[in-house]
Structure 1
Amino acid sequence: MEKAVKANEKFESNPPAEKQKREARQGFRRRKRRGQPPLPKEDIKIILRPHKGLCFKNILGLELSRAVIDACQRSFNGNDFLLRVHPGSNIVILSTPGMKVASRLRGISQLKIRGQIHAFNVYVADPEGVLRGIVHGIPAGTSQDELMENLRVRIQGANIERARMLGSSKTAIITFTGNVLPRSVYIKGAELICYPYKPTVQVCKICLQTGHRTDVCPTPNVIVCLKCGAREPMQ
């Protein structure tokens, strides 16, 4: 009887190897899921979204920050902004408290990375507490300056803060300050219905990955099976 008790005590004090491995894997997953700290709330956030063919997963953050500083003629240094990469969305977020630095970052149209020039779409992220709407039927490629120059609203308590086109589509997203989302906006006098903006999960039709649109796919040359999702499938 005493031998059986001692055997049980020994078994309890030394959990099976499989249990230890399972706990280790769970601990690793918990550490892996740890999120990034939020960027400074009051900072201005500049979004850099590359055109097709540039994947941020394979590029170091230091390479990107150097390219950003060089693109702005080294008018500031790494102490003036923070750079964060979102691999899933394949975008770069630049965070800065300075208006002058934000203006220079907003002017970026291309970056030289590893000896190659890559074009970018650049826009300012919306701050908290604003309203956003979308309108359809605007010619693709309309610039932000042209939108801001020609868009207007007719109701009190709503002002257009910024506007930009969504990729290569004929849809624009408009940011309003105020408490009321206008039912319609006007561009060069033409009335357009304004719908509430509802964020959606973007799915690329080329690589079948979520987080980015087809027109900015980072791997446009990779062949993916539309049925099973396998990359470079056998013919």
Structure 2
Amino acid sequence: MEASARTTVIVDNEMRVQVQGEEITPEEYHNEAGWTLAGERMSRLRRRAPANGMPDGSGGSQASPKSKFNKNVRASVIKAARMPAMPLEESKIVVRPRGGLDIVKTGTTTVATAILAAAKITSEESAADTICPNTQQNIMVVSTPNENNAARYATIHEISIQGKLYEVSAYRTAPHDTVKGVIKGIPTDANAEELDRNIVNERNPLAVGAKRIGSTTSAIVVFQGPKVPNFVRYGVTLIPCHLYRKQIDVCHQCGRVGHRKDVCPTPTIKTCLACGLANPKEDHSCTPKCKLCGGEHSTGDRTCKAKYKMPYVVRKRQWVRRQAELQLLPESDFPLLDKPSAVQKSRTPSKNRAPKSRDSSKKRSPSHERVGWVDAAKGNNTRSAQKITEAAKKDDMNKVREANETLRQENAALRTTINNLSREIAEIRKLLLCNNESPQRPTPSSRETEETSTKNQEAAVEEPAQKKRAIEAPRKQKENDRNDNLEAKFEARFTKLEELLTANIAAVTAMKQTVDNYQAENINRFAYIERTLQPIDED
């Protein structure tokens, strides 16, 4: 279970998540060697069973600003404080130089050499180590895979640069696959060993380290994994636990944002946190203005919400939820007409609702993005911002109706063509049947009649009998040959016509089936489009 109580608010159509937690400064808990015991316990847990750690990400705030001024200042400060990626499994030690040491002017190489000399680590022993400066916070970060080197780095208290000693504060950071929580109500007389014994035990299986915040009754508890439990057992007492929230550093000496007072490179300059006046008088009056949010309070005040950073674990969970929700909205396979619009994806069509008139001063172009459940889950109540205007809705409806009418006219033309082809095929079939019933050869009776008439004509001419027989024989042969040729040609032509007719019938039948299917599909398609394009009341 998560310990952080989230409050979702809507400001300027943007969702903001406020995470409940404790406001503390790093000076209150960065003492001695830092999270040495927590690092050792996490190393044992990794060797025992690899933890399902989440990939680390760059630090940075995801809280939504209240103004453009707020956004620009926060973004520039957070971006400048980001560190390059370092091996996750290595130990990290933060070295904070004091006494006005400016690591930029002094030189990061010079400061790194002084750190190695103070830790008494040779160049051979530090071959695998990495020392990286954070110029925004004016600190040095050491990354080493060697536990012996990490312990020696964490014990240095001063460094020497050009013969001058500078006090430093070195401490270990919490392991990368952990998260911090804050508890209250710890007895003031409990020492570090008692605090660790009452929290880091089998009753709190995720706890790997605990440390008091200064001399207060609050303590920071480091947990394995990306979640903070709602409660922590301190001995036999169940104490509520809240997620630790980081905040943007504000120097109470020079008034600049990005570093703290203990590492200020200009300790001789005193600046008013309210108005930014350098070296002000004690009794001067001013109008406060926050550099982070532009509000009427001093920079970094406890009431300023812009100074808090959203923890990485919270941003990671939100990103995972958004990805899971987006997977529930796959792209539709339904073919779209022209460009898609957000209203065509609406899941709540309404036919009986009358469209509301929109103010002419609010002109928006049609949205071409999918409006899904993710936007509704953000609680921003901006469905109207994702819909197109009423005029655009009517235009889309007219386009759909025109396209539907065009398809219907095309379907009617195709049906007329099919009917004409069907009538022609019927006439061809009737003609072929009539030709098939007509006599193909002269009947014997007609042939005998023809021969009798020929004999009578020949007798009238009074030709000799032998000459008559000589003429009659070739004539009969020629008639027979001509009849045979006509019959063969007719049969061949009839066969060809029959094949063409069969092919035409098959083609027309397939065409008719295709047109029927196409018309049925279009009817369903445009009925669905007309339903989804109905105007929706904007409550």
TM-score, scaled to structure 1: 0.66
Q: Which amino acid aligns with 2:141?
A: I
Greater displacement, 168-177 / 114-123 = 168-177
Structure 1's unaligned 5+ residue stretches are 1-32
What aligned pairs does 1:174-193 form with structure 2 within 5 A after superposition? 174-178=221-225, 181-182=228-229, 183-184=231-232, 186=234, 193=240
Whether the 8 Å CA contact 1:153–1:184 is kept in 2: the answer is no
The answer to whether residue 104 in structure 2 is matched with residue 57 in structure 1 is yes
Structure 1 residue 74 corresponds to structure 2 residue 121: yes
Q: Which residue of 2 aligns with 1:26?
A: none
Q: Where does structure 2 lack aligned partners over 5 or more consecutive residues?
A: 1-79, 285-539
RMSD after superposition? 3.6
Does the CA contact (< 8 Å) of 1:90 and 1:218 recur in 2? yes
Match of 1:223 in 2: 270
Secondary structure at the aligned position of 1:58 is classed as helix
Distance 1:69 1:114 in 2: 15
- Distance in 1, matches of 2:243 and 2:159, equals 34
With over 3 angstroms needed to count, the CA separation of the structure-2 counterparts of 1:65 and 1:165, relative to structure 1, is farther
The CA deviation at 1:94 is: 0.3
What is the DSSP-based 3-state SS (H/G/I as helix, E as strand, rest coil) of the residue aligned with 1:133?
strand
> What one-letter code is carried by the residue in structure 2 that aligns with 1:107?
T
Aligned counterpart, 1:30:
none
Q: Which has the higher helix share?
A: 2
Partner secondary structure for residue 80 of structure 1: coil
**1:21-74 deviations in Å (ceiling 9; x for gaps):** xxxxxxxxxxxx9x8642223322111123453332322121112112211223
Give the Å deviation of 1:95.
0.9
Count residues in correspondence.
Answer: 198
Match of 1:93 in 2: 141
Change beyond 3 A, Cα 1:191–1:211? farther
Equivalent-residue separation in structure 1 for 2:261 and 2:267 (angstroms): 8
Matching residue within 101, 123, 127 for 2:175? 127
Provide the rounded CA distance (Å) in 1 between the counterparts of 2:274 and 2:247.
23
- Tell me which residue corresponds to 2:250: 203
- The alpha-carbon distance between structure 1 residues 131 and 67, as it changes in their structure 2 partners (threshold 3 A), is same
Cα pair distance change 1:112/1:164, threshold 3 Å = farther
Q: How far apart in 1 are the matches of 2:258 and 2:215?
A: 17
* Cα 1:165/1:228, change in 2 over 3 Å: same
Relative distance call for 1:169 and 1:109 in structure 2 (3 A) is: same
Shift of 1:133: 1.0
Q: Deviations over 1:127-154 (max 9, x none)?
A: 33212112456799x9977864665467
Matched, 1:110 2:149: no
The 2-side partners of 1:209 and 1:164 are apart by 29
| Mapping for residues 39-58 of structure 1, pairs under 5 Å | 39-58=86-105
Q: CA shift at 1:177, angstroms?
A: 1.6
Measure the CA separation in 1 of the matches of 2:97 and 2:272: 24
Distance 1:63 1:40, change over 3 A: same
Write out per-residue CA displacement over residues 8-28 of structure 1, whole angstroms, 9 at most, x where no aligned residue.
Answer: xxxxxxxxxxxxxxxxxxxxx
Aligned-partner Cα distance in 2 for 1:118–1:146: 34
The answer to whether the 8 A contact 2:94-2:173 is kept is yes
Q: CA deviation at 1:174?
A: 2.7
1:187-227 alpha-carbon deviations (Å, 9 max, x no partner) = 8x887643211111121222112233334434332122444
Instruction: Pick 1 or 2: higher relative contact order, CA cutoff 8 A, min separation 6.
Output: 1
2:250 alignment partner, SS class: coil
Deviations 1:161-195 (A, max 9, x none): x34566x67454332225653423538x8876432
2:127 match: secondary structure: helix
1:147-162 map, 5 Å: 148=196, 151-152=199-200, 155-160=203-208, 162=209
Bigger proportion of residues as strand: 1
Contact 1:52 1:219 in 2 (8 A): no
- The amino acid of 1:125's aligned partner reads T
Q: 1:80, 1:101 within 8 Å by CA — same for their partners in 2? A: no
Query: Residue 214 of structure 1 aligns with which residue?
Result: 261
Cα gap change, 1:135/1:206 in structure 2, threshold over 3 Å: closer, same or farther?
farther
Structure 1 residues 215 and 198, CA gap change in structure 2 (3 angstroms)? same
Q: 1:36 to 1:47 in 2, by over 3 A?
A: closer
Aligned partner of 1:57: which letter?
V
Work out the CA distance in 2 between the residues paired with 1:58 and 1:69: 19
Helix, strand or coil for the counterpart of 1:223? coil
TM superposition score normalised by structure 2: 0.32
Alpha-carbon separation, structure 2, partners of 1:120 and 1:143: 25
Matches of 2:215 and 2:265, distance apart in 1:
18
**Closer/same/farther in 2, CA of residues 129 and 95 from structure 1, 3 Å limit:** same
Deviations 1:62-99 (A, max 9, x none): 11121122112234545231111112112110011222
